[in-house]
Amino acid sequence: MSTTIEQRPPLPPFTRETAIQKVRLAEDGWNTREPSRVALAYTTDSRWRNRAEFVNGREAIVGFLTRKWARELEYRLIKELWAFDGNRIAVRFAYEWRDDSGNWFRSYGNENWLFDENGLMAERHASINDLPIAAAERKFHWPQGRRPDDHPGLSDLGL
């Protein structure tokens, strides 16, 4: 009888290179806006704090993301490594989205991540603020999905 262990490389402990890779993989996943797919990057009992909401486990993560992306339309995200140590990564991020009335927002935040030995995220602590913006102020203009490699990152955009 064999047991399959879920792994999500790169695995901790992280180097600068592998931490940057892990951040980009997370960004790419979230930009799919596919809750079931995104949830696979987290442990089955992953614990989140997202703003004032507490989420526990993959099933709750799928529900959370489903509600989020039903509300946050035309979602586009950029993440950037802030710091790392061992099995922890800190990122800063910004994403743009619009509501169903056509109002645009840029949401800014920071996340602290803790990974298990298999590279699955066991904890995610997110602090986020929303800024209403005019459509003309948008900076994230790639087609829905993965941010192109040649699209500027947060620092390059002055964010």
Domains observed in the chain: 16-137 (3.10.450.50)
Structure tokens at 135: 């459509």
DSSP type of residue 75: E
Mean pLDDT calculated for residue range 122-138: 98
pLDDT of residue 4: 62
Residue pLDDT, tens place only, 3-59:
567 999 999 999 999 999 999 999 999 999 999 999 999 999 999 999 999 999 999
User: What's the whole-number average pLDDT of the chain?
Assistant: 96
Mean pLDDT, range 112-137, rounded to an integer:
98
Write phi, then psi, for 129 (nearest 5 degrees): -125, 140
If you ran DSSP here, which 8-state letter would residue 9 be given? S
- pTM comes to 0.95
Is residue 74 within 8 Å of 106, Cβ to Cβ? no
| Reported confidence tier of residue 120, pLDDT bands at 50, 70, 90 | very high
